[in-house]
Amino acid sequence: MSLRFTKLALGAAMAGLFSGSLLASDLVITFDDLNPDKKAAYEAAVEAFKAANPDINVVANNGDREAHKDTIRNALQNDAPDVITWYPGNRMGPFVDAGLFTDISDLWASDENLSSNFNAIKPTMTRDGKQWGVPYSYYQWGVYYRADIYEKLGLSEPKNWEELLGNCDALKGAGVTPFTIGTQYLWTAAGVFDYLNLRTNGYEVHNDLTAGKIKYTDDRIRATFAKWEEMLDRCSFVSTHATMDWQAAISPFAKGDAAMYVMGNFSVGQYKDAGLTDEQIDFFQFPEITAGVPRAEEAPADAFFIPANAKNVENAKKFLSFIATPQIQGDWNKAIGQLPPNAAAEINADDKFIVEGMATLSTAAGLAQFYDRDAPAAMAKAGMEGFQKFMLDPSALDEILEGLDKVQAEVY
């Protein structure tokens, strides 16, 4: 009796707190980027969705990106939102295999826009012949360089390996460290490795390596490391890279102590924050190493998925369709300075890096997702530690590669 009374009293109190429209259905979204521009772009897209669907009550959550990598496991298994961000490629593999994501192949087939404008990225969103998510953004990788220093020394953008090494010699002669990098959190080194491997061996070999079909002690991979050693020798990196994160590594670049940076396009905003102008920085594609190898690029994508435990699947699909539209993809990526995976979306023609990035990616022979997304997480962790170790001590190469073979045999 009294229990019921308590419940009623509680109910009366709570009803005041949580009043909402009666006929609404829910949509809970979990996003994972608190950087001001990313957050604003996401919120703008959610607002646009709300305006287009006034009958849906949207709860938009947002959290830290690194923490999200841990919490998503719990979120998918217990208290799942209706839409959640995650990475495509092999990184979505464990969740797809455990049946924790919803198969949305029907949406890809039925939605005109999705089936016609996302061909380049579709293989990345596919596993077991089905599609699992919708990408909202991706970006190019390449070499960002100090155009003013290049000009001062009369250098030009290198087209092949020899030209790059030549540029490095000239830079070192002038007292400038050719490359900056910060390997404290390891992944930056993987960017360099990916490009060296893509240029030395091409997309197929790289993909086979990250898929576990080729050993690290394979001669082709050794050839990649030989190029890297040459790079370490002649194009040295800043000496304190192991204690810097990628943002700290911008400091020597901004000061003019280092001239090049192998990075993703998300870094451009930070160069500008560090005081560099559009005239001082420029971009070139990582130069050719083995002549005739088709040019593949790194283009990590971010995507939305529907957890298998989602309670409002129809609303979730509506949201995915919505964020795939050219309008939203264009606006979103203009706001965050990245590229829309939707080929029909508009890009910011005033941003030279975006224009060049679009040209780079649309003509690429293949798109890699970045080492730590192409390879399973356990392999990526060991691999990137190996890359860092190699950069600090190239003589340990054999030991590193044999160690990686062991991990590879274990985790695939």
Partner 1 sequence: MTTTIANPNQRFETSANRVVGAGIVLAICIFLLVFVVNTAMVQEMLGYTRQITARVPTFFIRMALLLTAVAAGLFMITGHSYYKRNKLAVTPWLFLAVGLAFFMVYVIVPIFQSISYSFTKWNGLYDINGVWTGKWVGLHNYRILLDDPNFWTSLKNNLIWLVLYMLAVPIGLFIALFLNQTVTGIRIYKSLFFFPFVISQVVVGLIFAWAYNPEFGLLSEVWGWFFCEMRENIVGNLTRVCSVDPPSILGDSKKATYGIIAAGLWPQIAYCMILYLTGLNNVSADQIEAGRLDGAKGWKLLWHVVLPQLKPATFIAIVVTVIGALRSFDMIATMTQGGPFGSTNVLAFYMYEQAVGEGVGRYGYGSAIATVLFLIMLVYISYFLWRMYQDEKEGN
Site residues for partner 1, 237-266, by CB under 8 A, read 239-244, 248, 251, 255-257
Alpha-carbon distance values, 332 to 34, 53, 251, 310 (Å): 15, 18, 29, 25
User: What's the rounded Cα separation, in Å, for the pair 200 and 192?
Assistant: 12
Tally Cβ neighbours within 10 Å of residue 14.
10
As measured in angstroms, the least distance from the Cβ of 388 to partner 1 is 5
**Backbone φ and ψ of 88, nearest 5°:** -80, -165
As measured in angstroms, the least distance from the Cβ of 158 to partner 1 is 18
82 closest CA partner among 308, 382, 343, 362: 308
User: What's the rounded Cα separation, in Å, for the pair 114 and 101?
Assistant: 18
Name the DSSP letter for residue 244: -
Q: Is 406 in the site for partner 1 (CB under 8 A)?
A: yes
Q: Is 70 in the site for partner 1 (CB under 8 A)?
A: yes
Considering only the stretches 23-31, 206-214, 215-223, 260-268, report the one whose residues sit in contact with partner 1 under the rule CB under 8 A.
23-31
Q: Are strands 281-284 and 141-146 parallel, antiparallel or unpaired?
A: antiparallel
How crowded is the C-beta side of 390, counted as CA atoms within 13 Å? 29
User: What's the rounded Cα separation, in Å, for the pair 241 and 245?
Assistant: 8
Q: Compare residues 126 and 251 and give the one whose CB is closer to partner 1.
A: 251
Q: Compare residues 146 and 318 and give the one whose CB is closer to partner 1.
A: 146
Tell me which of 95, 139, 195, 286 binds partner 1, using CB under 8 A: 95
Q: Compare residues 20 and 292 and give the one whose CB is closer to partner 1.
A: 20
User: What's the rounded Cα separation, in Å, for the pair 69 and 65?
Assistant: 7
Interacting positions 116-155 with partner 1 (CB under 8 A): 146, 148-149, 152-153
Considering only the stretches 95-103, 110-118, 329-337, 347-355, report the one whose residues sit in contact with partner 1 under the rule CB under 8 A.
95-103
Tell me which of 77, 126, 270, 348 binds partner 1, using CB under 8 A: 77
How far does CA 114 lie from the centroid of its chain? 21
Interacting positions 360-379 with partner 1 (CB under 8 A): 377-378
C-alpha gyration radius of the chain: 23
The two tokens of residue 87 are 């990475």
Q: Is 61 in the site for partner 1 (CB under 8 A)?
A: no
Binding string, 36-55, against partner 1, x = CB under 8 A?
Answer: --------------------
As measured in angstroms, the least distance from the Cβ of 193 to partner 1 is 14
As measured in angstroms, the least distance from the Cβ of 410 to partner 1 is 6
Q: Which position has the token pair 């608190």?
A: 34
Binding string, 261-300, against partner 1, x = CB under 8 A?
Answer: ----------------------------------------
Contact present, 130 and 141 (Cβ < 8 Å)? no
Binding string, 176-205, against partner 1, x = CB under 8 A?
Answer: x------xxxx-------------------
